[in-house]
C-alpha cells in the first residue's frame, strides 16, 4: 500500500489522468477547448512577446552567483552553526528559484537563443528532481487543460485539499521520495499510465534516458556522502530540493488554490498576486499568473507590461501574498467539510464575457 494514502483525505473526484474524470472532461467538451483571452492588439502583443537574451542572462547570472556564493559559504563553514544562513539561502535558490527558471526556460521564453533555454531547463529539471521530458509534456497539458480534472496533471490543490501532504511538502518530505521514485521508475524503463498518457511514443526513450542520467548522478552523490561519511555532498546536491522548496510553495500554490475547477476562463481559475521585487526576482514574475496563462508567449520580464494592457478585464489582484493566503486558508479549511466550495473572483464591470467554445475532441 502507498504510505501516502495514510495521510490523505478521501477525495470526491479522481484527479488521475486515466480515471473516470478523463472521460467526463471529454464528454463535457472541456478537453482541448478554447479559452477566454482578453483581446490584445497584435502590434502590442508582438512587442510584448519580443525575445531578447539580456534580462535572462542577467537574472540567471545572479542566480548562479548566489548559488555559488552561498554554497561556498556553507561548505567553508560546515560544522559550525554559521553555515545555516548560507544553506538557507542556497536551498531557496537551488529549489524555489530553480522552479521559476525551469518554468520560463521550459516555455522557451527566457532567452531568445534556444540552446540557452534548453541548457537552463535541463539543469533546473535536475535540481528539482523532475524528468525534463515528462515534465515538458505535463506542463504543456497544464496549459491546454488548466485545472480540468482528469486532464491537468499539475493540480496541486485537489479537493478536499491534502493539507497534511501540502504541509509536509514545505520541506519535500512526501514530494522528494515520490520524485526520486518516479525518476527511478523511468530509469528502469517504466512509464506509468499517467505519464504514458502525456508523452508521445517518439519521446518515451528520451524520458527513460533522462531518468537514468538523473538517478546515476544522485546515486553517485549518495555514494560520495557515504564514502566520506558526511552529509555535505548531499547538502549541496539533492537535499536542497527538500529544505529549500518551501518558498516556492508559499509563492506558487496561490496560482490556482481555492479557485474553480473545470472552467474555461483563466480569470476564474488562476490568481494574480502582487509581490515585492525580491520575490518577483526569485519567482520570475510568475505571480502574474492569469496574464501568463492567457499569453504564455510573453516572457517573464514583459508580464508587468502585459498586466497593464489587460488588467481592465481581470479581477483585482491580491495585493500581497499575505492577502492571498488570508483568502486561501479559510477556503481550504472549508473545503475539508465542503469539497464543492471555491472562491469566485469578481470580474470588473464591463469585463469580457466568454461563451465557452467547448471542444468536440474525443478521448
Partner 1 sequence: MPWIDACALVDIEEEDLVRLDHEGRTYAVYRISGEEVYCTDGLCTHEKVHLADGLVIDHTIECPKHNGQFDVRTGAAIRSPACEALSTYPARVVDGRVHVEIP
Smallest gap from Cβ 140 to partner 1, in A, equals 4
Q: Which is nearer to partner 1, 99 or 175 (CB)?
A: 99
The Cα 118–Cα 111 span in angstroms is 9
Does the footprint of partner 1 cover residue 47 (CB under 8 A)? Answer: no
112 phi and psi angles, rounded to 5 deg? -80, -35
Does the footprint of partner 1 cover residue 103 (CB under 8 A)? Answer: no
Please identify, among the stretches 8-16, 101-109, 182-190, 238-246, the one whose residues bind partner 1 according to the rule CB under 8 A. 101-109
Q: Which of 9, 14, 18, 51 binds partner 1 (CB under 8 A)?
A: 51
- DSSP letter, residue 300: G
**Residues 206, 180 contacting (CB under 8 angstroms):** no
Does the footprint of partner 1 cover residue 109 (CB under 8 A)? Answer: yes
**Residues 300, 291 contacting (CB under 8 angstroms):** no
Please identify, among the stretches 73-81, 134-142, 251-259, 302-310, the one whose residues bind partner 1 according to the rule CB under 8 A. 134-142
Does the footprint of partner 1 cover residue 200 (CB under 8 A)? Answer: yes
Please identify, among the stretches 16-24, 104-112, 173-181, 225-233, the one whose residues bind partner 1 according to the rule CB under 8 A. 104-112
Name residues whose C-beta falls within 8 Å of residue 178's C-beta, 6 or more positions apart in sequence: 4
Q: Which of 66, 170, 173, 297 binds partner 1 (CB under 8 A)?
A: 297
Sign of the alpha-carbon dihedral angle for 145, 148, 154, 156: positive
Q: Which is nearer to partner 1, 276 or 360 (CB)?
A: 360
The Cα 166–Cα 249 span in angstroms is 9
Please identify, among the stretches 109-117, 223-231, 272-280, 282-290, the one whose residues bind partner 1 according to the rule CB under 8 A. 109-117
Does the footprint of partner 1 cover residue 112 (CB under 8 A)? Answer: yes
Q: Which is nearer to partner 1, 250 or 297 (CB)?
A: 297
Does the footprint of partner 1 cover residue 358 (CB under 8 A)? Answer: no
Does the footprint of partner 1 cover residue 107 (CB under 8 A)? Answer: yes
**Nine cell digits for residue 337:** 467539510
242 phi and psi angles, rounded to 5 deg? -90, -50
**Residues 253, 157 contacting (CB under 8 angstroms):** yes
Does the footprint of partner 1 cover residue 209 (CB under 8 A)? Answer: no
**Residues 239, 177 contacting (CB under 8 angstroms):** no
Does the footprint of partner 1 cover residue 203 (CB under 8 A)? Answer: yes
The Cα 186–Cα 323 span in angstroms is 40
Which 307-336 positions form the footprint of partner 1 (CB under 8 A)? Answer: none
Does the footprint of partner 1 cover residue 55 (CB under 8 A)? Answer: no
**Residues 304, 317 contacting (CB under 8 angstroms):** no
3-class state of residue 27 by DSSP? helix
- DSSP letter, residue 253: G
- Which residues of the shown chain bind partner 1 in the complex (CB under 8 A)? 32, 46, 49, 51, 107-109, 112, 114, 136-137, 140, 143-144, 200, 202-203, 295-297
Amino acid at each position: 500500500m502507498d504510505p501516502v494514502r495514510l495521510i490523505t483525505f478521501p477525495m470526491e473526484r479522481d484527479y488521475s489522468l486515466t480515471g473516470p474524470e478523463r472521460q467526463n472532461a471529454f464528454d463535457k467538451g472541456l478537453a482541448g477547448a478554447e479559452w477566454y483571452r482578453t483581446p490584445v492588439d497584435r502590434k502590442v502583443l508582438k512587442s510584448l512577446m519580443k525575445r531578447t537574451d539580456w534580462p535572462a542572462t542577467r537574472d540567471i547570472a545572479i542566480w548562479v552567483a548566489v548559488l555559488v556564493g552561498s554554497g561556498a559559504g556553507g561548505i567553508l563553514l560546515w560544522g559550525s552553526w554559521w553555515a545555516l544562513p548560507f544553506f538557507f539561502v542556497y536551498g531557496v535558490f537551488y529549489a524555489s528559484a530553480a522552479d521559476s527558471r525551469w518554468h520560463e526556460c521550459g516555455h522557451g521564453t527566457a532567452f531568445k537563443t534556444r540552446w540557452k533555454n534548453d541548457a537552463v531547463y535541463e539543469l533546473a529539471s535536475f535540481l528539482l528532481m523532475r524528468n525534463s521530458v515528462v515534465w515538458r509534456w505535463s506542463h504543456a497539458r497544464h496549459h491546454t487543460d488548466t485545472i480540468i480534472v482528469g486532464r491537468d496533471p499539475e493540480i496541486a490543490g485537489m479537493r478536499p485539499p491534502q493539507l497534511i501532504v501540502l504541509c509536509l511538502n514545505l520541506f519535500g518530505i512526501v514530494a522528494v521520495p515520490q520524485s526520486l521514485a518516479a525518476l527511478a521508475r523511468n530509469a528502469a524503463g517504466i512509464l506509468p499510465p499517467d505519464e504514458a498518457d502525456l508523452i508521445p511514443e517518439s519521446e518515451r526513450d528520451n524520458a527513460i534516458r533522462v531518468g537514468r542520467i538523473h538517478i546515476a548522478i544522485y546515486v553517485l552523490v549518495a555514494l560520495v556522502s557515504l564514502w566520506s561519511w558526511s552529509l555535505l555532498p548531499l547538502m549541496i546536491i539533492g537535499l536542497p530540493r527538500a529544505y529549500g522548496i518551501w518558498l516556492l510553495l508559499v509563492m506558487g500554490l496561490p496560482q490556482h488554490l481555492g479557485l474553480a475547477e473545470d472552467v474555461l476562463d483563466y480569470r476564474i481559475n488562476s490568481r494574480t498576486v502582487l509581490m515585492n521585487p525580491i520575490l518577483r526576482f526569485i519567482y520570475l514574475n510568475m505571480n502574474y499568473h492569469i496574464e501568463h496563462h492567457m499569453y504564455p508567449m510573453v516572457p517573464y520580464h514583459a508580464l508587468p507590461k502585459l498586466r497593464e494592457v489587460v488588467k481592465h478585464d481581470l479581477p483585482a489582484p491580491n495585493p500581497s501574498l499575505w492577502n492571498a493566503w488570508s483568502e486561501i486558508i479559510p477556503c481550504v479549511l472549508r473545503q475539508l467539510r465542503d469539497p464543492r466550495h471555491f472562491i469566485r473572483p469578481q470580474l470588473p464591470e464591463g469585463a469580457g464575457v466568454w461563451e465557452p467554445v467547448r471542444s468536440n475532441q474525443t478521448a
